[in-house]
Amino acid sequence: MPRKPRPLDRDLGVVRDASLIVIASEDTHAVQKYFDRFQPRRVQFRVLPTENGQSAPQHILARLDTFRSEFHLDDDDQLWYCGDTDHWVAANHVANLVQVLQRCSQAGYHVALSNPCFELWLLLHFLDMPPEVESCQDICRKLSAAAGGYSKLQGCRTRITSEMVQRALERAARLDVGTAEIPTTPTTRIYRIFNMLIQRESITIN
């Protein structure tokens, strides 16, 4: 069966040669809610969220595989695996995560893991990484306090500005000190998506 044309939403004002950034997410709402904030003309984000509880690493990978097989993509389009380490680095799960990351590398997919969870990326928009934070629950509590309220369904109550995104980029880069594919300390590599787009002059954060 022939693949479909690139699914760019022209109603958002994107240009014909806009890059398509496809993000397969472990979350059902949080990642989608965040990237919906951005509507640049030269790039369009397409989030493939978790549905029906299918959040395991192999399910995230499968969504990328399905998307790539269904649509014709341009050379500048990218597919990203954006998952949490959270409980996937436990002894009975880590081998599965390692295998999925190897398959991402073989398929040419980019990877942006968050340790322990995506909410760390959101928290960095408001403040530096608190030293006492140890779990995703801790991060979500800090985030809710800093953002005037937070839920995965509704996102941050406080509006996120371009200046806050820039601070998050800087803070996340400082946290990302290791070279391991799976970060062992609190780290979020979501910033790598934005850095790549900034380098390609596809998006401006200022």
Please spell the DSSP secondary structure of 102-167, one letter per residue.
HHHHHHT-EE--EES-THHHHHTTTS---TT--SHHHHHHHHHHHTT-EETTTEESSPPPHHHHHH
Q: Rounded CA gap, 14 and 16, in Å? A: 7
Q: How many CB atoms lie within 10 A of CB 146?
A: 17
Say what the pLDDT of residue 11 is. 64
Residues 59-102 pLDDT 10s: 999 999 999 999 999 999 999 999 999 877 777 778 899 999 99
CA distances 86 to 33, 69, 196, Å, are 20, 29, 25
Ranges of the chain with pLDDT below 50: none
Say what the pLDDT of residue 15 is. 73
Say what the pLDDT of residue 6 is. 81
Q: How many CB atoms lie within 10 A of CB 99?
A: 13
Say what the pLDDT of residue 35 is. 94
Give 205's contacts (C-beta < 8 A, 6+ positions apart): 162, 165, 166, 169, 194, 198
Structure tokens at 47: 């989030």
Say what the pLDDT of residue 132 is. 80
Structure tokens at 98: 């390692």
Helix (H, G, I), strand (E, B) or coil at 53: coil
Query: Hey, which residues does 187 pair with through a beta bridge?
Result: 115
Nearest 5°: the CA angle 195, 43, 166 is 35
Say what the pLDDT of residue 98 is. 93
Say what the pLDDT of residue 204 is. 82
Query: Hey, which residues does 45 pair with through a beta bridge?
Result: 21
CA distances 26 to 86, 107, 126, 173, Å, are 11, 19, 23, 22
Q: Where are the domains of the chain?
A: 10-199
pTM assigned to the model: 0.92
CA distances 71 to 64, 66, 79, 115, Å, are 11, 9, 12, 31
